[in-house]
């Protein structure tokens, strides 16, 4: 009985010891596991710190690039604004240049008009002066060579010149002789102004003037041998 008890106790002791050993094994293995975990955490920290530094550098770089891009956009906006102002200024200058040319042309035209107006005014004043000294009168002229012979004539005076229009139906030589008998001479027209003055007064009748054709010289000439310039 005692031997069985000892054996029994021995068996139970071994069981308990094995149970204790089995219970202790997790505790004994726990230390190495914790040591392994401590060893594995060190490389992880070595990886995280560089990654954090790299991320910080990237953030700083992004911030710098963002600031630079913003400044570039601002400068671009300012340049575009300045370019627009320059284009507007250029357009205004072109318009002013065109206006100046138009003004210059208009000034030249105005000067031409003024010059023409002055010429017209001068001619009008000259005609007024001429008309002031011009008068028309019908008279009877006594011929000195033929006593008692009277010739009907119409005369105009303009300035220092007097024009007699004799109403006598004769040929050129006969009219020339009539003028000589009355101490006169056939009309000599010296320039175009005088011709313009006389034309309105020669509309109703035809008159001889002191211009004849010289057959020997084959040219027109005035009485007295002067050449015609008309």
Q: Output Rg (C-alpha) for the chain, integer angstroms.
A: 68
- Among 216, 224, 136, 219, smallest CA distance to 176 is for 224
Closest CA to 163 of 174, 179, 147, 149: 179
pLDDT at 18: 45
107 shares its domain with 140: no
Span of 34-43, 79-88, 210-219 with lowest mean pLDDT: 34-43
13 within domain boundaries: no
pLDDT of residue 230: 64
Q: Which of 64, 98, 133 is a domain's end point?
A: 133
pLDDT computed for residue 126 by the predictor: 61
- Mean pLDDT computed over 157-170: 75
Which range scores top for mean pLDDT: 12-21, 119-128, 133-142? 119-128
Contact predicate 186/210, CB 8 Å:
yes
158 found inside a domain: yes
| In a shared domain, residues 117 and 164 | no
What pLDDT is attached to residue 151? 62
Write a three-state SS string for 198-211: HHHHHCCCCCCCCE
Query: Using one digit for the tens of pLDDT, what is the confidence trace for 64-78?
Result: 999 999 999 999 999
**Contact (CB, 8 A) for 138 and 152:** yes
Residue 67 has a pLDDT of: 93
**The predicted structure's pLDDT at residue 20:** 42
Q: What is the mean pLDDT of residues 93-108?
A: 85
Longest dimension (CA), the chain: 221
User: Which pLDDT value is given to residue 164?
Assistant: 78
Return the pLDDT at 65: 93
**103 CB-side CA count, 13 A:** 6
Q: What are 130's two structure tokens?
A: 């001429």
Q: Once rounded to an integer, what is the mean pLDDT over residues 147-166?
A: 69
Q: Has residue 65 been placed in a domain?
A: no
pLDDT digits (tens, 9 = 90+) for 8-52: 455 454 444 444 444 444 444 444 444 444 455 556 777 888 888
Supply the range of the domain harboring residue 94.
Answer: 77-133
Are 158 and 148 members of one domain?
yes
- Of 102, 118, 133, the position where a domain reaches its end is 133
Compute the distance between CA of residue 24 and CA of residue 5 in angstroms, rounded to an integer: 27
163 shares a domain with 119: no
Q: Are residues 111 and 151 in the same domain?
A: no
3-state secondary structure of 141: strand
Residues 166 and 179 sit within 8 Å (Cβ to Cβ): yes
**Helix (H), strand (E) at residue 163:** strand 161-166
Instruction: Return mean pLDDT, the chain.
Output: 73
Cβ burial, residue 179 (10 Å; 0-12/13-18/19+): buried
Query: What pLDDT score does 131 carry?
Result: 55
In this prediction, residues 178-183 reach a mean pLDDT of 80
Assess if residue 230 is contained within a domain. no
CATH of the domain at 147: 3.10.100.10
143, 182 Cβ separation under 8 angstroms:
yes
Pairing label, strands 135-142, 219-222: unpaired
CA-based nearest residue to 123, from 112, 131, 134: 131
Looking at the fold, whether 120 and 139 belong to one and the same domain comes out as no
């Amino acid at each position: 009985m005692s031997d069985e008890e000892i054996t029994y106790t021995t068996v139970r002791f071994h069981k308990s010891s094995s149970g204790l050993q089995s219970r202790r094994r997790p505790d004994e293995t726990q230390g190495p596991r914790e040591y392994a975990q401590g060893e594995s955490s060190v490389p992880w920290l070595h990886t995280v710190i560089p990654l954090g530094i790299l991320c910080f550098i990237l953030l700083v770089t992004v911030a710098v690039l963002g600031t630079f891009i913003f400044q570039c956009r601002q400068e671009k906006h300012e340049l575009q604004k300045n370019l627009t102002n320059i284009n507007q200024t250029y357009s205004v200058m072109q318009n002013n240049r065109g206006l100046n040319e138009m003004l210059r042309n208009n000034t030249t035209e105005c000067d031409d008009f003024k010059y023409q107006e002055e010429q017209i005014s001068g001619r009008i004043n000259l005609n007024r002066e001429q008309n002031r000294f011009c008068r028309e009168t019908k008279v009877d002229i006594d011929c000195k060579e033929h006593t008692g012979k009277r010739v009907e004539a119409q005369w105009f005076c303009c300035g220092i010149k007097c024009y007699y229009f004799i109403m006598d139906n004769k040929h050129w030589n006969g009219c020339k002789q009539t003028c000589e008998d009355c101490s006169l001479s056939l009309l000599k027209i010296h320039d175009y102004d005088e011709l313009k003055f006389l034309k309105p007064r020669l509309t109703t009748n035809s008159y001889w003037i002191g211009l004849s054709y010289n057959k020997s010289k084959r040219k027109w000439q005035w009485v007295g041998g002067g050449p015609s310039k008309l």
